[in-house]
């Protein structure tokens, strides 16, 4: 049964049926329910091309990944995003680029070709030019991270609060030399984490030591190199906060290479995006973490974007998730005071 036959069976226009199946808010609730019920009873699956002709929808959303975009964090996020979109028969169009100029060009090209109905923008930066461009293009979009612009839908975790909470825990244990392995400067999430770290130290009356902060990609290698440099300093840290599980693995490796023991000589806290294949409970020692699932964030981003596509105002689609602190054996009192 095609769209024309299905609409004829219901005594409705093809446009009304297509809009009802796509969740348009202007379709009356009773009509939408009638169409959905008939589709279930008859086993009708809408043809994407036909719906596109009737509604002007492409049936796809776009996401552009830059540089090392296909790391474990992106894979988890896309798993949650794609799984939820597929439940509504919406595809993802993923592009990869190496530069900001190329990324902006792709947004313009996809908008002009009408191949996508909206965008997911990830890893926002301070003064991010992508926000103004997407507003100009007039396609709905949602930001994975805190949007630094009015009129944007976004979902973020409380990065400032997470790092402040982790730093306070270490301060409560008696640590005064606390290092931070962070993301790239200029990234909104990394700036928020740095602010939370500085706030907690400031509240404790401890001056910020620039030699105890480092930035880069969240990889094992970055975690290893930064931790190695921290420990080689004249006044090494007694505790380290790692921005991800991947960088925490590198930090643990560097601690072992220095002849030290994580959780005894050096306390360690990581942010856990909840990877199915990397559990902090299975490490030795078990790892204290701030925790928030990036896959769940991908699922929720899809739900919010679907609402945006149906006409809900961007200002109503803003969420900041709290982050859970889970204390395990990798944190304790520093040896010097223990």
Quick one: pLDDT at residue 309? 92
Query: No. of H helices and E strands in the chain?
Result: 12, 12
Cα(263)–Cα(252) distance, rounded to whole angstroms?
A: 10
Q: Is residue 127 exposed (0-12), middle (13-18) or buried (19+ Cβ within 10 Å)?
A: exposed
144-159 CB burial, b ≥16 within 10 A, e <16: bbbbbeeebbbbbbbb
In the chain, what percentage of residues exceed pLDDT 70?
94
How many C-alpha atoms does 208 have within 13 Å on its Cβ side? 13
pLDDT tens figures, 157-216: 999 999 999 999 999 999 999 999 999 999 999 999 999 999 999 999 999 999 999 999
Q: What is the pLDDT of residues 4-30, one digit of tens each?
A: 888 899 999 988 888 888 767 678 888
Record the pTM.
Answer: 0.83
At residue 337 the predicted structure's pLDDT band, cuts being 50, 70 and 90, is very low
pLDDT value at 336 more than 80: no
Interaxial angle between packed helices 48-55 and 14-22, expressed in degrees from 0 to 180 and rounded to the nearest 10 = 110
Query: What is the rounded average pLDDT for all residues in the chain?
Result: 91
Residue 338 predicted with pLDDT over 50: no
- For residue 18, give the nearest of 63, 48, 40 by alpha carbon: 48
Q: DSSP assignment, residue 326?
A: E
Q: Note the helical H segments in the chain.
A: 3-10, 14-22, 29-42, 48-55, 72-86, 100-113, 129-137, 159-173, 188-203, 220-231, 245-257, 294-309
How far, rounded to the nearest angstrom, does the alpha carbon of residue 66 sit from its chain's CA centroid? Answer: 14
């Amino acid at each position: 049964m095609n769209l024309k036959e299905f609409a004829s069976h219901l005594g409705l226009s093809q446009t009304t049926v297509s809009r009802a199946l796509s969740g348009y808010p202007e379709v009356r609730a009773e009509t939408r329910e009638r169409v959905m019920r008939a589709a279930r009873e008859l086993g009708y699956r809408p043809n994407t091309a036909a719906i596109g002709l009737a509604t002007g929808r492409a049936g796809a959303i776009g996401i552009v990944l830059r540089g090392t975009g296909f790391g474990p964090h992106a894979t988890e996020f896309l798993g949650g995003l794609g799984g939820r979109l597929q439940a509504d028969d919406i595809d993802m169009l993923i592009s990869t680029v190496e530069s900001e100029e190329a990324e902006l060009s792709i947004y313009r090209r996809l908008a002009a070709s009408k191949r996508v109905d909206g965008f997911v923008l990830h890893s926002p930066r301070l003064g991010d030019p992508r926000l103004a461009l997407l507003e100009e293009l007039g396609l709905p979009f949602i930001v994975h991270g805190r949007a630094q612009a009015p009129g944007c839908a976004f979902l973020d975790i409380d990065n400032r609060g997470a790092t402040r909470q982790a730093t306070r825990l270490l301060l409560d244990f008696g640590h005064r030399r606390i290092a931070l392995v962070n993301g790239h400067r200029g990234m909104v999430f990394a700036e928020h984490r740095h602010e939370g770290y500085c706030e907690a130290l400031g509240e404790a009356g401890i001056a910020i030591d620039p030699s105890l902060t480092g930035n880069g990609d969240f990889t094992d290698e970055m975690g290893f190199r930064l931790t190695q440099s921290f420990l080689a300093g004249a006044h090494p840290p007694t505790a380290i906060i790692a921005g991800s599980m991947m960088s925490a693995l590198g930090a643990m490796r560097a601690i072992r290479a220095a002849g030290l023991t994580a959780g005894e000589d050096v306390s360690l806290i990581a942010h856990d995006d909840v990877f199915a294949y990397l559990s902090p409970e299975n490490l030795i020692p078990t790892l204290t973490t701030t925790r928030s699932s990036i896959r769940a964030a991908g699922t929720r981003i899809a739900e919010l974007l679907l609402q945006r596509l149906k006409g809900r105002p961007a200002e109503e689609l803003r969420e900041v998730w709290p982050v859970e602190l889970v204390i395990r054996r990798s944190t304790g009192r520093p040896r010097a005071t223990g």
